[in-house]
């Protein structure tokens, strides 16, 4: 009889190549996100709230490696409050006036830092606490705005459609860059990224955007193609900005929780910069 430990080791994801780990992790994660978002807006709320919490804690942990002292727990709590408020307001369970709760809660950061005697540069910690909220929490809150932007009903198609385009852009860029990449895109920040990879990612994103417009009718074809354009540009810059952040503290990945991908910020960096533009575009147009 085979040992259960040997069987367990055989199916250990760490036994696979980096590409194999990326594929397995991506399939599992995508299945959870897509199925949860389709099943219920409340499942979507829980899933993305968890992603936000892990991402913001990662950001604060990385800031600590660079000698900064942000308020990790309170900053993450405040980020989750902003995300929750935006969801409950957009779904219609709270009035818009409750957005004003954010301002007195945010001001508590100054009071907490005032009583932290060990901080040599308290305002640096304050700045990084707010940066974590603005850089990580606000984009996730804007996803809620995007999801309810059409007719004040929850449209999971906008969320998973944007993710499909983002994943297609990342995948196309990865394979095109690996196969054809020669011309550096932004060597100072990310030496491996190339213009060939960028163009491959753009082609994949537009293709998926067009396909989505055939099946998801909550928004029009031209709007899907505009979202693809936003993700191609803002998503690429989001990736570069996170690379710049990681290079400034001399690390490769933001974490190790997602095999083959690194941390949550590594996987969702493109979404952080894209989400505010997507929500704004859908609200205006």
Rounded percentage of the chain residues whose pLDDT exceeds 70: 89
Provide the pLDDT for residue 253. 61
7-16, 34-43, 191-200, 261-270: least confident range: 7-16
Percentage of the residues of the chain whose pLDDT score is greater than 90: 65
- Mean pLDDT of the chain, nearest integer: 89
pLDDT band at 15 (very low <50, low <70, confident <90, very high): low
Model confidence at 12, pLDDT cuts 50, 70, 90, reads low
C-alpha 210/C-alpha 111 separation (Å) is 50
pLDDT tens digits along 150-196: 988 999 999 999 999 999 999 999 899 999 989 999 888 888 899 99
When pLDDT is averaged across residues 127-134 and rounded to a whole number, the result is 95
Give yes or no for residue 248 having a pLDDT over 50. yes
Q: Is residue 250 part of a domain?
A: yes
- Residue 13: inside a domain, yes or no? no
Q: Summarize pLDDT for 205-225 with one digit per residue, the tens.
A: 999 999 999 999 999 999 999
Which tops the pLDDT comparison, 248 or 149?
A: 149
Q: Is the pLDDT of residue 7 over 50?
A: no
Count of C-beta atoms within a 10 Å radius of residue 206 = 19
Total of domains in the chain: 1
Is 146 a domain residue?
yes
pLDDT of residue 258: 62
Asked if pLDDT for residue 21 goes beyond 80, the answer is: no
Domain assignment of residue 7, yes or no: no
CB 192: neighbour CB atoms within 10 A?
A: 13
Q: Given this model, what pLDDT does residue 259 score? A: 62
Domain-embedded: residue 6: no
Q: Which helix (H) or strand (E) holds 185?
A: strand 184-186
Establish if 8 belongs to a structural domain.
Answer: no
Query: What is the pLDDT, as a whole number, of residue 4?
Result: 47
Q: Is 253 exposed, middle or buried (0-12, 13-18, 19+ CB in 10 A)?
A: middle
For residue 4, tell me if it sits in a domain. no
pLDDT for 8: 46
Determine the pLDDT at residue 77.
97
* Mean pLDDT, residues 136-159 taken together: 95
Q: 257 falls in which pLDDT band (50, 70, 90)?
A: low
Q: Quote the domain boundaries for residue 235.
A: 19-284
Q: Has residue 11 got a pLDDT over 50?
A: no
Environment class of 257 (CB within 10 Å of its CB; exposed 0-12, middle 13-18, buried 19+): middle
pLDDT one-digit tens code per residue, 76-109: 999 999 999 999 999 999 999 999 999 999 999 9
Specify if 101 maps to a domain. yes
Name the strand (E) or helix (H) holding 173. helix 156-180
Burial class (CB in 10 A: 0-12, 13-18, 19+), 6: exposed
């Amino acid at each position: 009889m085979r040992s259960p430990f040997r069987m367990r080791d055989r199916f250990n994801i760490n036994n696979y190549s980096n590409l194999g780990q990326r594929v397995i992790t991506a399939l599992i994660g995508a299945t959870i996100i897509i199925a949860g978002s389709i099943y219920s807006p409340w499942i979507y709320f829980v899933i993305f709230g968890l992603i936000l919490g892990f991402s913001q804690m990662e950001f604060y942990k990385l800031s600590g490696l660079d000698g900064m002292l942000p308020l990790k727990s309170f900053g993450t709590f405040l980020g989750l409050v902003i995300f929750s408020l935006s969801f409950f307001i957009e779904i219609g369970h709270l009035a818009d006036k409750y957005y004003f709760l954010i301002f007195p809660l945010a001001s508590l950061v100054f009071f907490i830092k005032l009583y932290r005697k060990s901080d040599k540069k308290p305002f640096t910690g304050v700045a990084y606490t707010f940066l974590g909220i603005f850089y990580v929490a606000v984009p996730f809150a804007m996803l809620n705005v995007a999801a309810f932007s059409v007719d004040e009903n929850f449209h999971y198609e906008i969320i998973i459609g944007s993710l499909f385009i983002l994943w297609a852009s990342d995948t196309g860029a990865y394979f095109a860059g690996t196969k054809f990449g020669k011309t550096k895109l932004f060597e100072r920040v990310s030496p491996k990224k190339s213009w060939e990879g960028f163009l491959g990612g753009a082609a994949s994103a537009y293709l998926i955007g067009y396909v989505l417009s055939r099946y998801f009718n909550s928004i029009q074809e031209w709007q899907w193609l505009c979202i693809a354009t936003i993700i191609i540009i803002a998503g690429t810059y989001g990736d570069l900005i996170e690379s710049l952040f990681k290079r400034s503290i001399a690390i490769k990945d933001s974490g190790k929780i997602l095999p083959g991908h690194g941390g949550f910020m590594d996987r969702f960096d493109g979404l952080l910069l894209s989400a505010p533009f997507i929500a704004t575009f859908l609200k205006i147009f």
